[in-house]
């Protein structure tokens, strides 16, 4: 084990990209660091970050390890300005809420990428047998941002929040003190509900088989009344797990794989790219404490847009252009309201705006070519 770690940490390369500080250990393959920077930059387009997010990255190459990538997040509870006491926050979020580093000298997350996976490091579309690295890196960073649970069921069927033994991480060893045994749930966990509407945290006693059964059985939902649910047609967001078994590192801390075009699910696979957070994913992050950037305040024009009408908009907004990857709509405060992913070769998008309240919105059009997104302010004014 010591040899394994020494090999990983021999030599390192530092890179600063927007709101992230990236520490890549060893000598990564060609294209790796550039693609990692792109993934971090994409997240930084949405998040208000005052304290840099420190990401520690390792590469391994083993067909025997059961993952293509995995993240171990650092955490803190009861820090200065913590919104909820006796609750674990990933340090990437805790530092923003505290306004200073709660973990000086420590990374906010360790991410391991298994190069035994056939990764595509480019910005286009991977081949059918390749796994998109940018999408994977965004997924793993998302865990460090707060898509993270301390829910756990041991081999005896006993369930708990905050009693995850470090031994389950073997052969991985976190670069920071392990906080999975702090005995408390994550802030993310406190929004998880069962179909009955009961909170998963508190549904049964800590370290009990009753709690283990509740974690293993029946669907789980992230239910956030302020931002998450409103960004998801006013309904809770289904999470992974609840199928009668428990899988460490999979259940609870992912969006259910029935969701398409979602970074934090396992819906996508080889040949797919998912590089834009869903509106419900951004809503979830805001629910647990992140502040989002007001997207689109700076209006930009690009040649890829052919038409954008009518403005003001009543019932339908029509946008046409070349190589459109997605259209995103945010309210004046930067809260995501709508995301439409383009999975076909469509020249025109027709966006139904009837369910959006009247007011000022910002529309952001993202292009498959990686060209600078097009942003524009739109007024929605319903007639009659």
The number of residues making up the chain comes to: 384
Per-residue pLDDT tens digits for 13-22 = 334 335 999 9
Q: What is the mean pLDDT of residues 224-229?
A: 92
Query: What is the pLDDT, as a whole number, of residue 346?
Result: 57
- Single pTM value for the model: 0.79
**Long-range contacts of 260-267, Cβ-Cβ distance < 8 Å, separation of 24 or more:** 260/341, 261/339, 261/341, 261/343, 263/135, 263/138, 263/139, 263/142, 264/139, 264/142, 264/143, 264/147, 265/240, 266/240
Q: How many CB atoms lie within 10 A of CB 183?
A: 15
What is the DSSP track for 86-137?
Answer: T-EEEHHHHHHHHTS-SSTTS-SEEEEEETTS-EE-SSS---TT-EEHHHHH
pLDDT, position 337: 86
Paired tokens of 17: 């990209």
3-state secondary structure of 224: coil
Of residues 348 and 154, more confidence is placed in 154
Query: CATH number of the domain at 305-380, please?
Result: 2.60.40.1930
Residue 232: per-residue pLDDT? 86
Which residue intervals of 164-247 are DSSP H helices? 209-216
3-state secondary structure of 37: helix
**Taking residues 220-244, what's their average pLDDT?**
92
All structural domains of the chain with their residue ranges: 2-288, 305-380
**pLDDT per position as a tens digit, 100-145:** 999 999 999 999 999 999 999 998 889 999 999 999 999 999 999 9
- Give strand pairing partners of 352: 316
Res 193: pLDDT: 97
Mean pLDDT of 264-268: 83
Task: Look over the chain and give the mean of its residue pLDDT values, rounded to a whole number.
Answer: 87
Tell me the mean pLDDT in the region 32-43.
94
In this predicted structure, what is the pLDDT of residue 345? 55
Q: Exposed, middle or buried by CB within 10 Å (0-12, 13-18, 19+), for 284?
A: buried
């Amino acid at each position: 084990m010591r040899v394994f770690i020494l090999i990983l940490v021999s030599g390192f390369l530092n890179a600063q990209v927007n709101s992230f500080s990236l520490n890549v250990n060893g000598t990564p393959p060609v294209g790796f660091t550039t693609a990692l920077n792109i993934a971090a930059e994409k997240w930084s387009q949405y998040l208000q970050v005052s304290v840099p997010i420190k990401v520690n990255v390792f590469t391994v190459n083993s067909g025997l390890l059961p993952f293509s990538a995995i993240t171990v997040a650092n955490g803190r509870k009861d820090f200065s300005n913590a919104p909820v006491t006796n609750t674990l926050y990933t340090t990437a979020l805790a530092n923003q809420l505290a306004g200073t580093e709660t973990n000086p000298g420590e990374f906010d997350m360790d991410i391991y990428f298994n190069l035994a996976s056939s990764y595509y490091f480019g910005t286009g579309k991977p081949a059918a047998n390749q796994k998109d690295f940018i999408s994977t890196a965004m997924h793993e960073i998302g865990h460090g941002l707060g898509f993270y649970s301390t829910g756990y069921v041991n081999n005896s069927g006993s369930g708990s929040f905050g009693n995850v033994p470090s031994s389950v991480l073997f052969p991985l060893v976190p670069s920071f003190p392990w906080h999975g045994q702090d005995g408390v749930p994550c802030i993310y966990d406190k929004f998880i509900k069962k179909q009955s509407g009961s909170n998963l945290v508190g549904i049964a006693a800590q370290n009990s088989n009753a709690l283990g059964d509740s974690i293993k059985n029946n669907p789980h939902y992230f239910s956030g009344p302020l931002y998450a649910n409103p960004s998801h047609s006013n309904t809770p967001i289904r999470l992974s797990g609840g199928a009668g078994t428990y899988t460490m590192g999979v259940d609870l801390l992912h969006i259910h794989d029935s969701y398409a075009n979602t970074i934090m699910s396992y819906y996508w696979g080889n040949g797919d790219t998912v590089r834009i957070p869903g509106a419900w994913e951004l809503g979830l992050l805001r629910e647990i404490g992140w502040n989002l950037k007001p997207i689109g305040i700076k209006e930009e024009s690009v040649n890829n847009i052919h038409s954008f009408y009518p403005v003001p908009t009543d019932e339908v907004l029509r946008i046409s252009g070349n190589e459109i990857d997605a259209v995103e709509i945010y309210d004046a405060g930067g809260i995501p309201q709508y995301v439409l992913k383009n999975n076909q070769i469509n020249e025109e998008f027709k966006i139904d705006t009837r369910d959006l309240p009247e007011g000022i919105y910002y529309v952001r059009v993202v292009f498959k070519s990686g060209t600078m997104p097009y942003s524009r302010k739109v007024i929605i004014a319903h007639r009659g």
